[in-house]
Structure 1
């Protein structure tokens, strides 16, 4: 990874006044779109006299290492590392910022952008960039599973498979909403596997069979799918939310998906949800399984230890007067 030179403005001119921005963009987007984003951001930052640099990323496989180096530099220079992309890209950059202990700025560019929306960050790139220049660092709670952070959610079972299948469909048919819905239906109709999970809840040993375990750290998402208000209210206050479906047939699973889409999942008898501070989950009969964290799917070995991270993430949050109401 190489860092491009500061565009027009030397960091030395603002030393001790405002932090330099080290901007990491999603390398998975097209070259033309990426260049247009750079030009738009450079224009905003130059207009405001802000020191900034774009961090060159060779490809998706280089994002993690590029973010790590940029975060270390941001810490040393008391700067801000800025993630430009969807929830998956933001997650990668956030992990680097959290480990280095530097501040994170977010310029959402994905489809859902739940993390950015939940913190009042604009979805328009230039508007979000202007908000970032006035933003202030605040600690925000993030989730952790076996050392991996998640900002929005983490899951095992059906949901990671759904994400993988959705990406395959999008590569074939384009990034349209109907493509995502079709991919979800195909996954549900083909899924037959049930997980057997063992964990302790309220001092009692619990064994459940479920097609998926979903752990949320984002109030906006949990509100939208319709979880009980008493569960949602505890998220972000030192707790996470767990959601599990009971073993059911394909037809009922489709109905659950529809309930979630219209914000009524919590009313379904086949769904159990609860808030927790920490939860250790054993997965019977499996030595490794797919785990999705903020839309990125990997492989993890159980037991799975979910908790709020030991320290918060330092996020550049818009001022109250700049915040965009959640839509």
Structure 2
């Protein structure tokens, strides 16, 4: 993987932050970040998101500002917000920083970025760019995972529960189990990868690009992700009860040794949904956000890595 471009110690930081949430936590986070960067005399600006529909525009604005200033783009947010900004920053090859504000924060935790707002802001002052693998599904980048079938349904239900009961991991896990208890249709898909082509029946295809997440559910492909490959996880046709059991095994970190799970590493994989009739689009979950993508779906490793700002204590 190519070396990441450097960043001057006084390079400006263009920080994408959510202004529209109106939450006390978001306001306090901005104040904490502002205080630390101001005290360190580090040039910076906040580029605020007034509503979710403006995220792509704001991300592009931040990326363009970083190109003009030879600076970096920083996101104060969770994996979904991070993913949206990555789309704009990746083509510019400018350094990219994270101040975690989400529920699971896989992008941050996998690379040693502190979860505490103050610690993460302080770490940015001396952070160094590190080339990080990016996955692609068609023209959409992802740092954590992309999937079709059951997982997008699970994410939609999880967001509904979080709006009602709060953004906590226990709420997310309970919502996931409730989703698994419902009946789910089987997808009929044609899958092409390095090992050949085959037709499969499955409720879900999951593609992982985050070693930490794969390790937590017990999949050996975590090591393959570290060697610049993606991980495919395909569920065999199972009953509702078996799906729940698979969910529990994943929570316990024992998913990899279950015979109802097929997993393998790859660099490129194409998926065509044969059970969709004349529909040309398919619902796909990408780093926790839902999109409708044109068929076929092509999953592959991006040509260029993301230049992620990581703490100097992380190798």
User: Could you say which TM-score interval applies, normalised by the shorter chain?
Assistant: over 0.9
- Structure 1 equivalent of residue 4 of structure 2: none
Q: Distance in 2 between matches of 1:27 and 1:149?
A: 24
Structure 1 position 16, deviation (Å) = 6.6
Length-normalised TM-score, structure 2:
0.93
The 10-residue stretch of structure 1 (204-213 or 118-127) with the greater mean CA deviation from structure 2: 204-213
Moved beyond 6 Å, runs of 4+: none
Please say if residues 188 and 199 of structure 2, whose CA atoms lie closer than 8 Å, have aligned partners that are also in contact: yes
Q: Unaligned stretches of 5+ in structure 1?
A: 1-14
- Structure 2 equivalent of residue 74 of structure 1: 66
Q: Distance in 1 between matches of 2:49 and 2:186?
A: 39
Matched, 1:302 2:295: yes
Structure 1 position 188, deviation (Å) = 1.4
Q: How does 1:23-42 map to 2 (within 5 A)?
A: 23-27=15-19, 29-42=21-34
Matched, 1:274 2:264: yes
Q: How does 1:1-327 map to 2 (within 5 A)?
A: 18-27=10-19, 29-228=21-220, 231-286=221-276, 287=279, 288-320=281-313, 323=314
Structure 1 position 207, deviation (Å) = 1.1
Residues 256-305 of structure 1 show CA distances to partners (whole Å, capped at 9, x for unaligned) of 00000010000101000000010011111322221011000111122100
Structure 1 position 137, deviation (Å) = 1.3
Please say if residues 197 and 281 of structure 1, whose CA atoms lie closer than 8 Å, have aligned partners that are also in contact: yes
Q: Structure 1's 158 and 124: CA in aligned 2 closer, same or farther, altered over 3 A?
A: same
Q: Distance in 1 between matches of 2:269 and 2:49?
A: 36
Q: Distance in 2 between matches of 1:181 and 1:200?
A: 32
Q: Distance in 1 between matches of 2:237 and 2:110?
A: 32
Please say if residues 158 and 191 of structure 1, whose CA atoms lie closer than 8 Å, have aligned partners that are also in contact: no
Q: Distance in 2 between matches of 1:175 and 1:222?
A: 22
RMSD: 1.7
Length-normalised TM-score, structure 1:
0.90
The 10-residue stretch of structure 1 (22-31 or 120-129) with the greater mean CA deviation from structure 2: 22-31
Q: Distance in 2 between matches of 1:153 and 1:193?
A: 22
Q: Unaligned stretches of 5+ in structure 2?
A: 1-6
What secondary structure, in the 3-state scheme, does the structure 1 residue paired with 2:181 have? Answer: helix
What secondary structure, in the 3-state scheme, does the structure 2 residue paired with 1:134 have? Answer: coil
Instruction: Give the aligned length.
Output: 306
Q: Distance in 2 between matches of 1:202 and 1:137?
A: 32
Q: Distance in 2 between matches of 1:233 and 1:177?
A: 26
The 10-residue stretch of structure 1 (55-64 or 246-255) with the greater mean CA deviation from structure 2: 55-64
Structure 1 position 139, deviation (Å) = 1.4
Structure 1 position 178, deviation (Å) = 3.4
The 10-residue stretch of structure 1 (196-205 or 147-156) with the greater mean CA deviation from structure 2: 196-205
Structure 1 position 27, deviation (Å) = 4.2
The 10-residue stretch of structure 1 (239-248 or 284-293) with the greater mean CA deviation from structure 2: 284-293
Q: Distance in 2 between matches of 1:118 and 1:181?
A: 20
The 10-residue stretch of structure 1 (208-217 or 233-242) with the greater mean CA deviation from structure 2: 233-242
The 10-residue stretch of structure 1 (49-58 or 22-31) with the greater mean CA deviation from structure 2: 22-31
Q: Distance in 1 between matches of 2:134 and 2:199?
A: 27
Q: Structure 1's 193 and 183: CA in aligned 2 closer, same or farther, altered over 3 A?
A: same
